[in-house]
């Protein structure tokens, strides 16, 4: 019940916001903040009260019959992985509302309503235990995102919005075919099911139609492409830089922080748990296909990092660095061992926090200078010392400095992957070096050197902006020195997952 | 099954009789009412729809509920399937009457004829949904066709409208002629016009090797020309963009929904009752032919819709594409597939009529049918713009709207039969379709209105009617009753 409440309170908030008069903007913003703070409070409660020694699904609600004709049920619950990502989602909700407080000029009512709808979609996605429900929540995020980028975005927003929409929809229709195939093979007519735990059990039952290598390979591919577009995995990544550059700050934060995680979460929840034979085919280290998933992870890391190095647009740089960092998640998952998966999940959470910080910081600078050209700044360190300090923290965390959170996830992922894919793992470390290069180089070009006289009067970061960054900064440091804070949450769930493989 | 004689059948035929009575009454009332602005005839036809609706329910629950009843010596049949379509068609007719009341293009002098013809075309569609005899099939189809030629050309002052009617009649004549030829071939081979008997006869003859499977396939193909013309499937779709663009908007809406539904009713009954037996399917490979037609229809419809600037024309192509999706459900004529078609038709009725209603409203207020006319509508008329978004997104088949659930049913039915390629074509088509639906959304939300920025106000009645379409489009997919409803309507179909 608690979980349902958490998912649907933002939806309720959307209705409430729609009923408020358009003119009372302050009221709308406050209401939205309230409706995102409640899920945060609930998420913190769930995070604390989740029984860590038992990695199974908890706070289960349902299955409640929904559409009888197809045995579709309302069934939600959380395990260690979901609760971690739910906390991240719920945390970024209010932060994004605060970040949008001043810089959304038109249609604040529609913006906040869509944002709340988006939040319901994301929260529901991480909690769904019914495949159909899972898909509906997955798609529910598309429409609000299209509008949030398309209406409130930058100059090329129309292009970016439709590109995002079409790419994701393309991926999800392939996922839909795979989903229907799984459903049709799950039993005789009348006994078919969408229930994820049941399907996972069936897929490992000897002699069941789902427990068939050939079948698993095909449906694995269907789901994989759907999620790969979201992650994004090369070559499905081209929507991401466009979407990030055009989206308003808060929406970039959500995109990088949560939507990308929906892809990797789907890979863990569906592809790995439900199709272990398919997973084995793509990650057993034998031949081309056996290395393909790790190879994609490697390409993401190296390709993303080199692309980032070449950027002169601050936001595009962060966007490409996201592609690189998501590569570590893929590499860790491909390793299929305890270190790899733990590292991947930790990296998902850390990347959510760090990239959110980076996009917020880019937004702060853009709001003041109205451009993001890295070479156009210089010497800001003397003008905005606090801003420079926070940015340096975020950069260091992102490039993987030991002691900050980015390091732990990447190190664990590489550790796990080294066990199976030695060559690819060694080559992947190029990404870390390049990552250090572009961040340090950016730091130098923006904050060091002589101050560009145009920016002599640039105001320092204000209280509201610091408020959005502080919780994320604290998390970065805490998780850097005490990663078990998060790892404890999903240790048992990872063990359960590995037992399935 | 024993057929009822002519006189005995009349009571079972009361919905159709009521339609005739009201059509005549509308003409008579129009003669009496002198005031041109009067809306009395429109309301009388609405009352007619309502009375017919009551009669449909009455005949269904008193006679049809227990099983099919064959009327007029086997000419038509009263069953849950036909009752389902009658309700659907009446909804479409009532909505069209309400649209016409709001439409400003129609000639006030010709109101009586207009509403009488609407009721007459509904009668024809009722018959299409219940015919079980080749002769009756042809007569009902022609009743609908002839009436729709007139309605398409109803804007007497508009050359486009006359052009539409002329094109419609030319294509229609060819299609009916071809169909009639196909029907005569079937009659010649089977020696009977009754669909159920044809099925049995042909199976025997094919088994005995007395007729070639190719002959049957040719006959079916010819008949498909007539049916394909009604549901605007490739290659018989050419008329529809011109007609949809030229005809008055309410009629376009009506044709795209009701005409298509009635066409599908006829299609399903013809193939299901006539050719649904396993032996026939094995002998004559018509499922494969239908699969090809379906794939072509949706692809051509969607690709042609991409560059359209006129919203009516865009929706015309989109409705061709939807005909293709619907055909997917009919490829193998499983009861699942038919159930999916029926469910989708209900969903399609609401989302498509809703979209056309917005087109009527915008044509009235902004005076444009072009995509540019929709610019900046989100700030000028936010509620209407959001309603349009819901209709379009539902048409594109994106959750959580009803269109998604409809497509989901169709794709499941197709995949169940192992037609993976067809499902994939269909799904990729929905991705393509999103692009042109999004163009309208883009114009409404992402572009500025230009000089005209004053907000457009609509009456409460408008919003009430709009919500009649919006609410089902949002909620139908979540309600069990509609799935059950469409399945029950299929289960009583006479299966061979």
What pLDDT tens digit does each residue of chain B (496 aa) get?
677 788 888 888 889 999 999 999 999 998 888 777 778 888 999 999 999 999 999 888 887 667 788 888 888 888 888 888 999 999 999 999 998 888 877 777 778 888 999 999 999 999 999 999 999 999 999 999 999 998 888 887 888 888 888 888 998 899 999 999 999 999 998 888 888 888 888 888 888 888 888 888 888 889 888 888 888 888 888 888 888 888 888 999 999 899 999 999 999 888 887 777 777 777 777 788 889 999 999 999 999 998 889 998 899 899 999 999 999 988 877 888 888 899 899 999 999 999 999 988 888 888 888 888 888 888 888 888 889 999 999 999 888 888 998 898 899 888 888 888 998 899 889 888 988 998 898 888 877 777 666 777 788 888 888 898 999 998 888 877 777 777 777 765 554 3
Backbone φ and ψ for B398, nearest 5 degrees, come out as -105, 135
Q: What is the pLDDT of residue A298?
A: 92
- Give the CA radius of gyration of chain A: 22
Beta-ladder partners of B71: B76
Number of domains comprising chain B:
1
Nearest Cβ partner for A150 among B399, B435, B442: B442
- In this prediction, residue B493 carries a pLDDT of 59
Rounded Cα–Cα distance for residues B89 and A126 (Å): 42
Element (H, E) at B475: helix B460-475
Q: Determine contact, residues A242/A253, Cβ cutoff 8 Å.
A: no
Contact residues, chain B, for A176 at CB < 8 Å: 408, 411, 427
Q: Which of A144, A170, A176, A179 to mutate to test the interface with B (most CBs of B within 10 A)?
A: A176
Q: Does residue B17 form part of some domain?
A: no
Among B428, B442, B483, select the one facing A67 at the smallest CB separation. B483
Cβ–Cβ < 8 Å for B168, B152: yes
The total of other beta-carbon atoms located within 10 Å of residue A2's CB is: 12
Distance CA A146, CA A137 (A): 15
Is the Cβ pair A143, B398 closer than 8 Å?
yes
Q: Note whether A306 contacts B: Cβ–Cβ < 8 A.
A: no
Maximum Cα interatomic distance, chain A, rounded to a whole number of Å? 74
DSSP H helical ranges for A105-257: 108-127, 131-140, 142-152, 157-184, 196-203, 213-230, 239-246, 249-254
Does A177 sit within 8 Å of B411, measured CB to CB? Answer: yes
* Nearest-10 crossing angle of helices A314-335, A338-369: 170
Tokens of A261: 């995680």
Coil/strand/helix, residue A75:
strand
Three-class SS of residue B337? Answer: helix
Residue reference for tokens 């996972």:
A200
C-alpha A493/C-alpha A56 separation (Å) is: 6
Q: Is A159 on the interface with B (CB under 8 A)?
A: no
The three-class DSSP label of residue B3 is strand
B438–A162: do the CB atoms touch at under 8 Å? yes
Chain A residue numbers with beta carbons less than 8 Å from the beta carbon of B399 are 135-136, 139-140
Q: For position B496, what pLDDT does the model report? A: 36
In three-state secondary structure terms, B178 is helix
Q: Closest Cα partner for A25 from A109, A82, A94?
A: A109
Q: Give the N- to C-terminal CA distance of chain B in Å, as an integer.
A: 13
The pLDDT of residue B160: 85
Q: Please report which helix (H) or strand (E) contains residue A66, including its range.
A: strand A58-67
Distance of alpha carbon A438 from alpha carbon A308, whole angstroms:
7
Residues in chain A with pLDDT values less than 50: none
C-alpha dist (Å) from residue A375 to A252, A401, A444, A453: 22, 25, 10, 14
The CB-side HSE value for A376 (13 A sphere, CA atoms) comes to 13
Q: What is the DSSP string of B359-373?
A: HHHHHHHT---BGGG
Q: How far is residue B319 from each of residues B243, B257, B300, B388, B403, measured CA to CA in Å?
A: 13, 8, 11, 16, 13
Number of A/B CB contacts below 8 angstroms equals 79
Per-residue tokens: B231: 């549901």
Q: Is B423 on the interface with A (CB under 8 A)?
A: yes
Burial-class residue A142 by CB neighbours within 10 Å (0-12, 13-18, 19+). Answer: buried
B298 assigned to some structural domain: yes
- Decide if B481 contacts A66 (C-beta within 8 A): no
Distance, in angstroms, between B358 CA and closest chain A CA? 20
CA angle centred on A300, ends A349 and A473, rounded to 5°: 30
Residue from A36, A101, A31, A28 nearest A464 by CA: A101
- Domain membership of residue B185 (yes or no) is no
A143 touches chain B (CB under 8 A): yes
Nearest CB among B412, B434, B484 relative to A169 is that of: B434
Contacts of B386 (CB under 8 A, 6+ apart): B378
- Altogether, the residues listed in chain A come to a count of 501
Cα-Cα-Cα-Cα dihedral sign, residues B342, B344, B350, B354: negative
B432 closest CA partner among A230, A176, A166: A166
Distance between CA A35 and CA A119 in Å, rounded?
Answer: 10
B398 and A69 within 8 Å at the Cβ level: the answer is no
Query: Pick from A139, A158, A166: which is nearest to B435 by CB?
Result: A166
What pairing do the DSSP bridges indicate for beta strands A72-78 and B76-78? unpaired
Chain B residues in contact with A180 by the CB 8 A cut-off are 408, 411-412, 415, 423
Task: Say what the pLDDT of residue B452 is.
Answer: 66
Mark yes or no for CB contact A180/B399 under 8 Å.
no
CB–CB of A140 and B423 under 8 A?
A: no
pLDDT at B18: 93
**Interface residue A20 vs chain B (CB under 8 A):** no
Contact B423 A158 (CB under 8 A): no
What's the pLDDT score for residue B495? Answer: 47
**For B299, what's the count of Cα atoms within 13 Å in the CB-facing half-sphere?**
12
DSSP H helical segments within B247-381, as ranges? 249-254, 260-275, 278-283, 286-305, 311-330, 335-365, 377-380
Residues 6+ apart with CB under 8 A from A409: A328, A332, A343, A344, A346, A347, A348, A349, A350, A351
B184 φ/ψ sector (left φ>0, alpha ψ -120 to 50, else beta) = alpha
Owner of token pair 């996009």: A359
Choose among A146, A173, A184: nearest Cβ to B416: A184
* Helix, strand or coil, per DSSP, at residue A312: coil
CB B276 within 8 A of CB B332: no
How far is it, in rounded angstroms, from Cα B224 to Cα A7? 50
Distance (Å, rounded) from C-alpha B247 to C-alpha B226?
A: 21
Question: Is residue B159 one of the residues assigned to a domain?
Answer: no
* pLDDT at res. B445: 83
Interface check B421 vs A, CB under 8 A: no
Which pair of tokens denotes residue B471? 């609410």
Instruction: Provide φ and ψ at B155, rounded to 5°.
Output: -85, 90
Q: What is residue A373's three-state secondary structure?
A: strand
What is the C-alpha to C-alpha distance for residues B247 and B175, in angstroms, rounded to an integer? 20
Q: Chain B residue closest to A141 (CA)?
A: B399
Binary contact (B398, A68; C-beta < 8 A): no
Which residue of B398, B431, B487 is in closest CB contact with A139?
A: B398
**Partners of residue B382 in chain A, C-beta under 8 Å:** 110
How far is residue A361's CA from residue A381's CA, in Å, rounded to a whole number? 14
Rg (CA), chain B: 22
Q: Are A371 and A453 in contact (CB under 8 A)?
A: no
- Write down the pLDDT at residue B179: 92
Decide if A224 contacts A283 (C-beta within 8 A): no
A117: nearest CA in chain B?
Answer: B400
Distance of alpha carbon A295 from alpha carbon A277, whole angstroms = 19
Q: Is residue B83 part of a domain?
A: no
SS (H, E, C) A444-464: HHHHCCCCCHHHCCCCCCCHH
Q: Which two tokens stand for residue A259?
A: 């939507």
Distances (CA, A) of B4 to B7, B12, B59, B121, B182: 8, 10, 15, 25, 28
Q: Measured between CB atoms, does A180 come within 8 Å of chain B?
A: yes
Instruction: Assess A161–B contact: CB distance below 8 Å, yes or no.
Output: yes
pLDDT tens digits, A357-395: 999 999 888 888 888 888 888 788 888 888 888 999 999
In our burial notation (b when 16+ CB lie closer than 10 A, e otherwise), range A273-310 reads: bbbbbbbbbbbebeeeebbebbbbbbbbbbbbbbbbbe
| pTM, to two decimals | 0.89
For residues A474 and A494, what is the distance between their CA atoms, to the nearest angstrom?
26
Q: Is residue B319 part of a domain?
A: yes
Check residue B491 and give its pLDDT: 65
Supply the pLDDT for residue A360: 92
Q: Which of residues 380-419 of B touch A (CB under 8 A)?
A: 382, 393, 398-400, 404, 408, 411-412, 415-416
* Phi and psi angles of residue A72, each rounded to the nearest 5 degrees, phi first: -85, 135
Interface membership of A183 toward B (CB under 8 Å): yes
**B450, part of any domain:** yes
3-state secondary structure of A65: strand
What is the domain range of residue B464?
Answer: 285-496
Q: Give the span between the Cα atoms of B321 and B421, in whole angstroms.
A: 17
Q: B315, B348, B351, B344: which is closest to B329 by C-alpha?
A: B344
Amino acid B177: pLDDT: 92
Chain B environment of A171 (Cβ under 8 Å)? none
pLDDT at A384: 85
Three-state SS for A482? coil
pLDDT at B64: 66
């Amino acid at each position: 019940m608690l979980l349902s409440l958490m998912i649907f309170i933002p939806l309720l908030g959307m209705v409430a916001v729609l009923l408020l008069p358009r003119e009372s903007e302050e009221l709308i913003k406050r209401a939205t903040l309230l409706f995102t703070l409640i899920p945060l409070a609930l998420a913190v409660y769930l995070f604390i009260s989740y029984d860590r020694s038992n990695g199974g699904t908890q706070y289960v609600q349902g299955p409640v019959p929904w559409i009888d004709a197809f045995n579709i049920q309302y069934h939600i619950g959380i395990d260690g992985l979901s609760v971690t990502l739910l906390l991240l989602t719920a945390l970024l909700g209010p932060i994004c509302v605060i970040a949008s407080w001043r810089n959304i000029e038109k249609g604040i009512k529609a913006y906040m309503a869509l944002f709340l709808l988006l939040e319901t979609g994301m929260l529901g996605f991480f909690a769904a235990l019914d495949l159909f429900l899972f898909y509906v929540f997955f798609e529910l995020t598309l429409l609000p995102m299209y509008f949030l980028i398309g209406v409130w975005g930058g100059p090329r927003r129309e292009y970016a919005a439709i590109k995002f929409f079409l790419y994701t929809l393309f991926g999800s229709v392939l996922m839909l075919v795979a989903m229907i195939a799984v459903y049709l093979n799950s039993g005789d007519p009348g006994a078919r099911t969408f229930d994820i735990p049941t399907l996972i059990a069936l897929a490992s039952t000897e002699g069941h139609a789902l427990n068939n290598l050939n079948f698993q390979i095909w449906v694995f591919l269907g789901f994989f492409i759907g999620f790969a577009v979201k992650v994004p995995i090369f070559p499905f990544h081209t929507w991401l830089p466009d979407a990030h550059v055009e989206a308003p700050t808060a929406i970039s934060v959500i995109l990088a922080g949560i939507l990308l995680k929906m892809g990797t979460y789907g890979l863990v929840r569906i592809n790995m748990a439900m199709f272990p034979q398919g997973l084995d085919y793509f990650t057993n280290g034998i031949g081309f296909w056996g290395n393909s998933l790790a190879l994609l992870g490697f390409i993401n890391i190296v390709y993303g990092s080199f692309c980032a190095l070449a950027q002169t647009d601050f936001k595009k740089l962060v966007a490409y660095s996201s592609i690189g960092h998501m590569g570590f998640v893929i590499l860790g998952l491909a390793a299929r061992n305890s270190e790899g998966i733990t590292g991947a999940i930790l990296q998902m959470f850390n990347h959510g926090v760090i990239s959110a910080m980076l996009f917020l910081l880019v937004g702060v600078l853009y709001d003041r200078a109205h451009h993001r050209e890295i070479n156009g700044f210089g010497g800001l360190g003397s003008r905005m010392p606090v801003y420079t300090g926070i940015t340096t923290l975020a950069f260091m965390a992102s490039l993987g400095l030991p002691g900050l959170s980015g390091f732990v996830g990447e190190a664990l992922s590489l550790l796990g992957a080294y066990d199976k894919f030695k060559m690819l793992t060694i080559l992947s470390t190029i990404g870390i070096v390049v990552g250090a290069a572009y961040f340090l180089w950016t730091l130098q070009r923006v904050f060091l050197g002589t101050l560009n006289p145009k920016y002599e009067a640039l105001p320092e970061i204000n209280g509201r902006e610091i408020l959005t960054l502080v919780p994320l900064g604290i998390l970065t440091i805490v998780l850097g020195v005490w990663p078990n804070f998060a790892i404890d949450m999903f240790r048992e769930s990872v063990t359960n997952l590995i037992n399935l493989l | 099954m024993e057929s009822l004689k002519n006189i005995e059948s009349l009571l079972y035929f009361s919905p159709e009789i009521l339609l005739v009575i009201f059509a005549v009454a509308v003409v008579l009332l129009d003669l009496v009412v002198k005031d041109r602005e009067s809306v009395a005839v429109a309301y009388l036809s609405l009352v007619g729809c309502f009375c017919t609706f009551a009669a449909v329910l009455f005949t269904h629950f008193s006679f049809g509920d227990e099983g099919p009843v064959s009327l007029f010596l086997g000419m038509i049949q009263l069953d849950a399937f036909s009752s389902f379509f009658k309700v659907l068609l009446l909804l479409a007719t009532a909505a069209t009457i309400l649209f016409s009341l709001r439409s400003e293009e129609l000639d006030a002098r010709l109101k009586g004829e207009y509403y009488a013809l609407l009721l007459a075309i509904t009668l024809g569609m009722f018959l299409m949904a219940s015919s079980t005899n080749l002769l009756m099939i042809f007569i009902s189809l022609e009743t609908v066709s002839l009436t729709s030629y007139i309605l398409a050309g109803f804007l007497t002052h508009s050359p486009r409208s006359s052009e539409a009617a002329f094109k419609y009649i030319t294509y229609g004549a060819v299609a009916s002629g071809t169909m009639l030829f196909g029907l005569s071939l079937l009659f010649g081979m089977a020696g009977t016009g009754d669909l159920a008997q044809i099925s049995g006869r042909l199976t025997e003859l094919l088994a005995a090797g007395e007729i070639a499977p190719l002959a049957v396939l040719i006959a079916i193909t010819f008949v498909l020309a007539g049916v394909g013309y009604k549901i605007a499937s490739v290659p018989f779709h050419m008329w529809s963009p011109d007609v949809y663009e030229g005809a008055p908007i309410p009629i376009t809406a009506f044709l795209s929904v009701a005409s298509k539904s009635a066409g599908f009713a006829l299609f399903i009954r013809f193939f299901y009752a006539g050719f649904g037996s396993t032996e026939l399917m094995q002998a004559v490979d018509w499922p494969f032919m239908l699969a090809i037609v379906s794939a072509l229809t949706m692809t051509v419809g969607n690709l042609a819709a991409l560059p359209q600037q006129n919203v009516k024309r865009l929706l015309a192509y989109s409705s061709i594409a939807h005909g293709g999706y619907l055909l997917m459900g009919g490829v193998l004529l499983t009861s699942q597939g038919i159930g999916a078609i029926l469910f989708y038709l209900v969903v399609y009725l609401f989302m498509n009529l809703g979209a056309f209603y917005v087109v009527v409203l915008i044509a009235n207020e902004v005076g444009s049918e072009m995509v540019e006319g929709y610019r900046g509508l989100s700030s000028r008329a936010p509620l209407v713009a959001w309603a349009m978004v819901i209709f379009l997104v539902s048409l594109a088949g994106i959750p959580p709207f009803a269109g998604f659930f409809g497509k989901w049913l169709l794709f499941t039915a197709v995949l169940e039969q192992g037609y993976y390629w067809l499902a994939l074509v269909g799904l990729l088509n929905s991705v393509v379709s999103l692009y042109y639906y999004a163009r309208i959304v883009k114009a409404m939300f992402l572009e500025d209105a230009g000089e005209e920025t004053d907000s457009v106000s609509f009456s409460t009645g408008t919003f009430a009617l709009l919500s009649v379409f919006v609410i089902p489009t949002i909620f139908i997919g979540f309600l069990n009753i509609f799935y059950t409803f469409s399945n029950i309507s299929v289960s009583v179909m006479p299966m061979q």
